[in-house]
Structures are given as C-alpha cells and as structure tokens.
C-alpha cells in the first residue's frame, strides 16, 4: 500500500463532514488540519502578546496591503520574547486579525499564508485538510505548495447533501450553552421542547444557524468552493463522493460508506 500523504475533505457547511473525517483519521493514521483551528491558533498567538498594537498601524493604504514583514516583526519582537510566542506566528496572527476582528472578508492571500505556515509546520504530510481549499485561488496555491514540498494530495472526498435537507437540519439545531450538547427540535428534542436533558438549562439557537445565513453559506459553496474542487479534479487528484445522509446513521454505516469508496483507491 502506497503511503497516504493528504486527503481533502470538502462539502457544504452542515453536510456532515466531521464523522467522515473521523473515519479517515482512524483508518489511515492521519491528523485533521482545520482552517478554523489554524485561524484560532494564529489569532491566539497575536492576542497572547497583549501588545496593544492595532493591526491597522501596519496597513499601507496606498498599496492596499501591509507594510514589510520586517517592520511588523521589529515592533512585535519584544512582546513575543516576553510571551514566548514565535515572531512569525504573531505576524500572521496580526494580519489575520486586521480582517477577522473587523468582520471583513478574509482575502485568499491571508488564508493561504496561514494555511502554508500550518501545513509546513506539520511537514506537509499525514493530514486530512478540512475547510481548505475553499476557492479556486486556494486550490491553485495548494497544488503549487504540495509540488514545491514534494508531497501530494491523494484524494478529494466530497460529502454530498441536499440544500433543503441541510437547511432543515441546521435551522432546527439547538445547543446547550452550558455543556455544548446538540439537539434538534424534531429529531432529538430537548426536554419539554427547550431544556438540556443533562443540565436543565434552556437550549439556544446559534446565531449562525438562521436560514438566511445557511443559504448564504450554501451559495458560497456553489459559487466558490465547487470551482476549487473542479480544479483539483482537473489536476488529476482522485475524487469520490459519499452521501451525507444515510438510511441508518451509525458509526459502522458511516465507516462502510466512506471506506467502500476510499479503499479501492487508497488501499
């Protein structure tokens, strides 16, 4: 069996990626690398400095980009030393913070830079990529990066699910604010329709789980991520689809539906 370097898991938000990622991690001894965690990690590195420095200070309005990295590093360095944070991590965190904290659209250039740093830190191997690439520009960057590092993408796995089903499932989702337990008003109702079975606390709906926000995420997938997947396929990366919805949803059923498609390709 050829050694598996990396697998890309993709799909609409709410399609059910995590159980499939768990199967791949377990079967091939991989580690999950999520864009969400990458961002949290670098943003955290910058925040940990407690430097009081605003990212905007290093933004050059004329060029529409940040000033030179060396200038940012020089100012962050004393804080990094005190906090025990690598300067490069803090610089990446500061750049990401300029967009994330202001609720601005994060440019591909930033997402790529953070991804590259995290990917290189892991040696570019043994990973399930989750939430990346999300645009064609990110997909191109990833192909170039793996080529430069002498590593590869072995497979793209798409978890397929219908829009209406995702909306229905997500809109009905409720979460216990205390223990994080997830409920659904129809399929897994909380006690008396609104209390956590474990804590008795009233469950809440996440602000991201409104129909309008879900439809926006679904539209983004169709417009931006679908072309990214297409680009990877055209580059010759093997591609499989697995259903996000199963007649019977057990660990074993998920495992079979994933490995039935993946093992013929990866062994």
The residue from 77, 198, 223, 256 that contacts Zn ion (CB under 5 A) is 198
Long-range interactions of 161-167: CB distance < 8 A, separation 24+: 161/11, 161/12, 161/14, 161/15, 161/16, 161/243, 161/244, 161/245, 162/245, 163/12, 163/218, 165/245, 166/12, 166/13, 166/14, 166/15, 166/214, 166/218, 167/211, 167/214, 167/215, 167/218
What's 126's DSSP letter? S
- Compute the least distance from the CB of residue 169 to Zn ion, in Å: 20
The residue from 57, 82, 109, 178 that contacts Zn ion (CB under 5 A) is 178
The reply on whether position 196 binds Zn ion by CB under 5 A is: yes
Site stretch for Zn ion (CB under 5 A), options 20-28, 44-52, 192-200, 231-239: 192-200
The residue from 85, 94, 176, 237 that contacts Zn ion (CB under 5 A) is 176
Alpha-carbon span 120 to 110, nearest angstrom: 15
Q: Which of residues 199-238 bind Zn ion (CB under 5 A)?
A: 199
Site stretch for Zn ion (CB under 5 A), options 74-82, 173-181, 223-231, 255-263: 173-181
- Compute the least distance from the CB of residue 254 to Zn ion, in Å: 25
Site stretch for Zn ion (CB under 5 A), options 45-53, 68-76, 107-115, 188-196: 188-196
Alpha-carbon span 126 to 130, nearest angstrom: 13
The reply on whether position 179 binds Zn ion by CB under 5 A is: yes
Q: Which residues bind Zn ion (CB under 5 A)?
A: 176, 178-179, 181, 196, 198-199
């Amino acid at each position: 069996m050829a050694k598996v370097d990396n697998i890309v898991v993709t799909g609409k938000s709410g399609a059910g990626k995590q159980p499939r990622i768990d199967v791949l991690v377990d079967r091939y001894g991989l580690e999950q690398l999520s864009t969400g965690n990458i961002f949290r990690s670098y943003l955290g590195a910058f925040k940990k400095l407690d430097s009081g420095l605003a990212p905007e200070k290093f933004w050059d309005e004329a060029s529409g980009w940040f000033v030179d990295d060396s200038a940012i590093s020089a100012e962050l360095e004393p804080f990094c030393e005190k906090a025990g944070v690598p300067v490069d991590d803090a610089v990446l965190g500061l750049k990401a913070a300029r967009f994330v904290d202001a609720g601005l659209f994060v440019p591909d250039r930033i997402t790529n830079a953070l991804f590259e740093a995290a990917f290189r830190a892991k040696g570019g191997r043994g990973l399930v990529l989750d939430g990346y690439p999300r645009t064609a520009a990110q997909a191109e960057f990833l192909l170039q990066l793996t080529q430069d590092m002498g590593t590869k993408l072995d497979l793209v796995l798409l978890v397929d699910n219908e829009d209406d089903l995702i909306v229905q499932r997500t809109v009905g989702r409720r979460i216990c604010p205390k223990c994080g337990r997830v409920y659904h008003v129809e399929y897994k109702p909380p006690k008396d329709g609104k209390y956590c079975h474990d804590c008795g606390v009233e469950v809440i709906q996440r602000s991201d789980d409104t129909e309008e926000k879900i439809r926006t995420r679904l539209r983004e997938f169709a417009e931006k991520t679908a072309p990214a997947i297409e680009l990877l396929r055209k580059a010759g990366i093997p591609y499989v689809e697995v259903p996000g919805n199963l007649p019977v949803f057990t660990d074993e059923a998920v495992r079979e539906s994933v490995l039935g498609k993946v093992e013929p390709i990866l062994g």
